[in-house]
Structure 1
Amino acid sequence: MASADESASDLELTVTSALSGLIDAYQQMPMPLNRYLGVILVPSAVFFVATLGIGLLLDLPLMIRGPIPLLGFLMFVSAVFYPKILLSQRKSELNNQFHLVVTHMTVLATTNIDRMEVFRQLSQQDQYGEMAAEIGRVVELVDTWNQSLDDACRRRAKQVPSDAVSDFFDRLGYTLGAGQALDDYLISEQSQIIQNYKTVYGGTLDNLEVMKDLYLSMILSMTFALVFAVVLPVLTGTNPTMTVSAVIVLYVFVQSGFYLAIRSMAPHDPLWYHPEDKHSPIEDKIRNATIAGTVLSTLLLVFSLAGMLGVSPVTLDDVVFFVDPLPLPFYAAIPTLPLLIPGIVVNAEEKKIKARDEEFPSFIRALGATEGAKQSTTSTVLESLRKKDFGPLTDNVDNLYKRLNMRIETTEAWRHFTAECRSSLIQKFSEMYLIGREMGGDPKLLGELISENMMEVQQLRQRRTQATTTLIGLLYGITAASTFAFFIGLQVVNILASMSLDLQSNTSNFDVGSLINTEVYNIPLIEFLLVIIIMFGAMLSALMVRTVDGGHKINTYVHFVALTWVGSITAAITKWLVTQFLAI
């Protein structure tokens, strides 16, 4: 009895905590509460009631009517919990940028500027997003409301959604109030700040592992539902096209939901840096490859559709003459092949960027140590450093030296360097070193600080790479397994249809249609719907991989093409195998 009371108490506490968190999320929305209720929440509730009525009144099978109220319920639930999702996204943005911002703050604090100027400088860094906005709120409290810096930090610590940032502001406020210097505090706290960042980063990767297990379970369940939707109408006589379409809609919602969940959970740690005002030959190469791949893919798609519709005298069957007849999934897969061109180009460039990231910590440490020892300019130090082997970074270091030696303005020379490297991490840490040196910071301390922090980020990226590898294996396996199940069911129905026709032609005293309802099937249309779901799954799976690994958007094409071909080949082989084993 006591355990039952404890369970009820725990449940009540959990519900109360969830409601409190939801109310807090509504209070922190950028949109006024009454406007959100009138514009978003009430219309979504009305839409849900309307879909519920449509689902109850329509004279259609439950499998078709069921997804209609589910759509309305999904929109209503999304509207109710959107403020909570918005707050969660804000928390995620703060956690993702926290480590870099604190490193940047430490670099600035070691220079000869006032501590309030440190906060003002950081609040102007748009690249830090929500974290820069949060520091801007601290500056506003000091400049506009005449609060002390320590009081402003403690005030924001109570309102910021991220636990790590809240704890940092709180401890920073009390430390500054006690009279400790900002640089002393930040340098002494580096190890703890790095550990907090690693904990948060690792937690997001652990959450992704849980999401992968849930995704596998849900997709397998939806696969069974789709197979049943294909096969059961043989016995029930319902319209299979409607049942398959309804399950496909639900399948799309499930996959889209998981993609959005993974997108919100994945750590925001982009690999690429895209400067708006600095041109790079890499951009020309990627743009030309993308244009070539897109044009060729479009031409192949038009050619494929023209052949299928009988408009063109030459079809894909004539081109791919060694496969006769050409399976329907190949009509969708073949036009995607040219998309490998930009995908391969971007993938090769990403490998170079990762190699530059690995070499940068040793470069910046050597640069800072040598500048500190020789008490000379960056240009003089680079004259000797450019002869050292920094792998793929060597040419970029040499170009940086040449620009500085030509008396190009130092800031512009460094920004050309980061634009050539195209690395997000190199851009951020180079900017820190540049600003730190311009403001009189110790080069040796700056080099060591930046090097250590970047190496920690690199270790976390290795864990992310491992998580991405397991996700890729999972997605490819799911694609092959689900396609295998889809086309087994379809081909069994196709064989039953041919068997029933043969039995009806040879049997005059028995109505085969009373047992096997194959006349309700439009096999080519259902196969077309299954090909669409394979393509959609390949697209979302490729986007999931790109979201987790933080790479270039165009790198999505490689996995999209590969997953499409895995599904198409699996479909063709499955149809052939079922025909060989079951055909009479």
Structure 2
Amino acid sequence: MSTDSSDATLDLTISENIQSLLKSYRKMQMPMGQYVSFIMVPSVGFLIVTGILAFVLPLPMSIRLPIPLLGMLAFLSAVFYPKILLSQRKRQLNNRFHLMVTHMTILATTKIDRMEVFRTLAEEDEYGELANELRRVVELVDTWNQSLDDALRRRSNEVPSDTLSDFFERLAYTMGAGQSLRKYLLTEQEQILENYATVYESSLDNLEVMKDLYLSMVLSMTFALVFAVVLPVLTGTEPTMTVSAVILLYIFIQTAFFLAMRSLSPYDPVWYHPESKPSAVESKITRSFYFGVGLTAVLMVISVTGIIGLSPIGLATFIPGISDPLPLPFYAVIPVTPLIVPGFVLNRAEKRVKARDQEYPSFIRALGTTEAVKQSTSSDVLSTLRNKDFGPLTNNVDDLYKRLNMRIEPTEAWRYFTADCRSYLIQTFSEMYLMGREMGGDPQLLGELISENMNRSLQLREQRNQASTTLIGLLYGITAASTFAFFIGLEVVNVISELGLDLDTGAGIDVGQIIQPDVYNIPLIEFLLIVVIMFSAMLSSLMVRTVDGGHKINTYLHFVLLAWISALVATFTRWLINTFLAVG
């Protein structure tokens, strides 16, 4: 009975996956027939050709075997590409959905009609795929003379996002029943925020699962790499090729987990980068970046030329009290150390951006409420608010008042304000407030809506910060542990190789057939291990940046710290094992 139930469940799962795949083909921008003709048929032909080549080429089996695998990879990529494309489009629709609905609510509270709301949002390139969907709704109404509720209902059946589809369907039903867009959106605000929070928290839960899987896989690959280093002393096999193969697999697995975390992380950027309005903090970050990268390049040249003997000047020349040669790991980490300068500068600037985000909801609520009570302009209200303490946002509020008081055009003054703040959330919600005020919206209602939405976003971001903190602890810990394991194995083999014992005991036992240290090239294996710990430090720092949503340069700080942890642990491990075994 249980076997029949399992088979039925398996058949149902396979059927659902096939239907989902066919659905992705139907929702492609390219016609299905055209995709089959230009993509699928060539991929099948390539698969057949690679299969034939695997039989007819006069090459060893180890070389012929991967050839049809290449053809299979191309064929599977062609089969599942529409599914991947649909998944990416769904993610793009969900990423900015709550911001789009908040913007729509703000516009709906103004004096413009409901179609103008959709036309305005359709022109907002910031919303990406969401703007395209709204543009399609506008085209159905303006070009094909459909009613708005019919257009929404038709697009609800076409969009890949369940969240957007449900929103379009309920909005169509509500407006068809005669309810105003303004009343509906104000009523649904709490529900929309809850749905967004559910999706956001689900992404964070998926990251937690991915972290556990990552820990398990990295520990497994660490043991595999240690065995690849140690076992050849007993088997007599070539260790360099074995270690290189395990390292490639190790790097491949880490890269796969990085890509998975990037796809699972919720879209919630911290920084805003306007190209036309540079700020002082941006200039400071740029200068520190060029300084760090330039000094790294100089030290890299010194390190490489010193190692290979092209230059009499080595890294030890610049380190007082240290005689050359340095331990090999330091030749890798010292040149990249200057990258900590832009990483540190960026980290401090990012903390100020996040601090401004925390103060912005109270500022925008106070601004909207005071404007409504005094029935005055933003400039008049800011003359009072500029004296309030908004933490790191205080100077930006003061600068906004000065620009408005100098009769600078309000739109430009607010855009300079958001450019100085460098915050994605502040820029997005300030644009909403400005647009709502220009179109006659109630400032108190606008301030309350924006404050509520931003507070919820900050609460979710706090959960994300906690997830990134636990990830940082995990990555730093596993970096130290894996490096310790790598170099324990290497130093044990190195000590055995240097013992110089007469392995012929004279008792009829040729120990040289059991323990074979001569197969090792210790410096080469140490170099390979340093390559893997540096690559691991790079991918780990990229994972941290991906999960916390911060600036790209923030990667440098964690990269340098992880690299130094690996180098210090490697050097200490070799010294410790060598000391204990030498004493023994």
Query: Are the counterparts in 2 of residues 233 and 517 from structure 1 also a CA contact under 8 Å?
Result: yes
Distance 1:44 1:210 in 2: 37
- Post-superposition offset of 1:575: 1.2
Residues 118-142 of structure 1, C-alpha deviation per residue, up to 9 Å, x if partnerless? 1111111111112112212211222
Aligned-pair CA distance for 1:55: 13
CA distance in 2, matches of 1:44, 1:223: 37
2:182 is aligned to 183
In structure 2, C-alpha distance between the alignment counterparts of 1:145 and 1:457, rounded to whole Å: 38
Q: Deviations over 1:272-323 (max 9, x none)?
A: 0001211211121011000000011111111111111111212223444437
Q: CA deviation at 1:252?
A: 1.6
Corresponding residue number in structure 1 for 2:26: 27
SS in 2 for 1:176: helix
1:51 and 1:72 in contact (8 A); partners too: no
Q: How does 1:102-251 map to 2 (within 5 A)?
A: 102-251=101-250
Q: Distance in 1 between matches of 2:548 and 2:189?
A: 26
Aligned-residue RMSD, C-alpha:
2.5
Query: 1:482, CA displacement in angstroms?
Result: 1.3
1:383 is displaced (CA, Å) by 0.7
Partner of 1:581 in structure 2? 580
For residues 106 and 41 of structure 2, the distance between their equivalents in structure 1, rounded to whole angstroms, comes to 46
User: Does the 8 Å contact 2:504/2:510 carry over to 1?
Assistant: no
Other-structure match for 1:480: 480
- Residue of structure 2 equivalent to 1:402: 402
Deviation at 1:324, TM superposition (A): 6.5
- Give the conservation status (yes or no) of the 8 Å contact 1:304–1:316: yes
2:382 maps to 382
Query: Take 1:445 and 1:579, find their aligned partners in 2: how far apart are those partners?
Result: 71
In structure 2, the gaps of 5 or more residues are: none
CA pair 403-90 structure 1, distance change in 2 beyond 3 A: same
Q: Compare 467-476 and 7-16 and name the one that shifted more.
A: 7-16
Q: Measure how far apart 1:512 and its partner are.
A: 4.2
SS of the residue corresponding to residue 273 of structure 1 reads: coil
Change (3 A) 1:506 1:326: farther
Q: Provide the TM-score with structure 2 as the length reference.
A: 0.94
Do 2:40 and 2:75's aligned partners in 1 also have CA atoms closer than 8 Å? no
Quote how far apart the aligned CAs of 1:548 are: 0.8
Query: Kindly tell me: are residues 219 and 147 of structure 1, through their superposed partners in 2, closer, same or farther at Cα, counting changes over 3 Å?
Result: same
Hey, what does 2:274 align to over in structure 1? Answer: 275
Q: CA deviation at 1:228?
A: 1.8
Deviations 1:131-159 (A, max 9, x none): 11221221122222222111111111112
* 1:98 alignment counterpart: 97
- What secondary structure is seen at the aligned counterpart in 2 of 1:275? coil
Return the letter of the residue paired with 2:313: V
Distance 1:520 1:487 in 2: 18
Give distance in 1, aligned partners of 2:293 and 2:465. 28
Q: How much has 1:396 moved relative to structure 2?
A: 0.6
1:447 equivalent in structure 2: 447
**Structure 1: which amino acid aligns with 2:26?**
Q
Residue aligning to 1:294? 293
Structure 1 window deviating more from structure 2 (99-108 vs 247-256): it is 247-256
SS in 2 for 1:519: helix
**1:134 & 1:535 partners in 2: Cα distance?**
44
Give, in angstroms, the shift of residue 72 of structure 1: 7.0
Greater CA drift, 50-59 or 386-395: 50-59
1:418 to 1:87, Cα distance in 2 relative to 1, 3 A = same
CA distance in 2, matches of 1:335, 1:67: 38
Alignment of 1:420-499 (within 5 A): 420-499=420-499
What SS does the corresponding residue of 2:254 show, helix, strand or coil? helix
Structure-2 separation of matches of 1:336 and 1:397: 39
The equivalent residue for 1:326 is: 326
Counterpart of 2:527, as a letter, is F
Comparing 573-582 and 368-377, the one that deviates more: 573-582
Cα deviation, residue 572, structure 1: 1.0
Q: CA deviation at 1:8?
A: 1.4
Question: Equivalents in 2 of 1:14, 1:438: separation in Å?
Answer: 53
Sort the Cα spacing of 1:158 and 1:17 in 2 relative to 1 into closer, same or farther, 3 A: same
Is the 8 Å Cα contact of residues 67 and 250 (structure 1) preserved in structure 2?
no
Q: Check 1:35–1:420 CA distance in 2 against 1; reply closer, same or farther (3 A cut).
A: farther
Alpha-carbon spacing, 1:298–1:480, altered in 2? closer, same or farther (3 Å): same
The CA deviation string for residues 360-391 of structure 1, in whole angstroms up to 9 with x for no partner, is 00000001001111111111111111111111
User: 1:486–1:530: 8 Å Cα contact kept in structure 2?
Assistant: yes
Task: For residues 19-42 of structure 1, give each alpha carbon's deviation from its aligned partner in whole angstroms, at most 9, with x where no partner exists.
Answer: 211222233234442256348844
User: Given residue 295 of structure 1, which amino acid in structure 2 is its aligned partner?
Assistant: G
TM-superposed deviation, 1:514: 1.9
What is the alpha-carbon distance in structure 2 between the residues aligned to residue 319 and residue 455 of structure 1? 51
Alpha-carbon distance, 1:507 to partner: 7.2
Per-residue CA deviations over 1:389-421 (Å, capped at 9, x if unaligned) read: 111111111111111111111101110110000
Q: What's the CA shift for 1:44? A: 7.0
Q: What letter corresponds to residue 563 of structure 1 in structure 2?
A: L
* Identical positions, percent: 64
- 1:53 and 1:546 mapped to 2: Cα distance? 47
Structure-2 change in CA distance of 1:41 and 1:559 (3 Å): farther
Moved more, 79-88 or 522-531: 79-88
Q: Deviations over 1:301-360 (max 9, x none)?
A: 111111111112122234444376521111101111100110011111101100110010
Alignment CA distance shift 1:96-1:479 (3 Å): same
Mapped partners of 1:507, 1:130: distance in 2: 79
- Relative to structure 1, is the Cα distance of residues 234 and 68 closer, same or farther in structure 2, using a 3 angstrom cutoff? farther
The structural deviation recorded for 1:49 is 4.8
- Partners of 2:42 and 2:347 lie apart in 1 by 41
- Distance across 2 between alignment mates of 1:507 and 1:317: 47
Asked if the contact 2:418–2:426 (Cα under 8 Å) also holds between the matched residues in 1, the reply is yes
Task: Please say which of residues 17-26 and 362-371 is displaced more in the overlay.
Answer: 17-26
After superposition, the Cα gap between the structure-2 partners of 1:115 and 1:66, relative to the gap in structure 1 and judged at 3 Å, is: same
Q: Tell me the equivalent position of 1:565.
A: 564
Distance 2:68 2:225 in 1: 19
Alpha-carbon distance in 1 for matches of 2:546, 2:104: 28
* Cα drift, residue 69 of structure 1: 7.9
Q: In the alignment, which residue of structure 1 is the partner of 2:349?
A: 349
Given that residues 208 and 262 in structure 1 are in contact (C-alpha distance below 8 angstroms), is that contact kept between their aligned partners in structure 2? yes
State the match for 1:264 in structure 2: 263
Aligned partners of 2:445, 2:307: CA distance in 1, in Å? 67
Is the CA contact (8 Å cut-off) linking 1:201 and 1:267 kept in structure 2? Answer: yes
State the alpha-carbon separation in 2 of the partners of residues 259 and 38 from structure 1: 29
2:39 aligns with 37
Q: Is the 1:271–1:425 Cα contact (8 Å) retained in structure 2?
A: yes
Aligned amino acid, residue 83 of structure 1: P
Amino acid at match of 1:462: E
Q: Give unpaired runs (5+ residues) of structure 1.
A: none
Q: Greater shift after overlay, 210-219 or 37-46? A: 37-46
- The residue type paired with residue 439 of structure 2 is M
User: 37-46 vs 132-141, which deviates more?
Assistant: 37-46
Range moving further from structure 2, 429-438 or 535-544 = 535-544
Match of 2:518, SS? coil
SS at match of 2:501: helix
Amino acid at match of 2:39: L
Per the alignment, do residues 345 and 246 of structure 1 end up closer, same or farther by CA in structure 2, a change over 3 Å counting?
same
Which whole-Å deviations, capped at 9, do the CAs of 1:156-186 have from their partners, x for residues lacking one? 1112122111111110111111111001000
Question: By how many angstroms is 1:520 displaced?
Answer: 2.1
Residue 367 (structure 2) aligns with: 367
How does the TM-score come out when normalised to structure 1? 0.94
Gap change, CA 1:409 and 1:87, over 3 Å in 2: same
Cα distance change, pair 35–304 in 1 and its aligned pair in 2 (3 A) = farther
Partners of 1:246 and 1:435 in 2: CA distance: 58
Contact 1:27-1:33 at 8 Å conserved across structures = no
Amino acid at match of 1:381: V
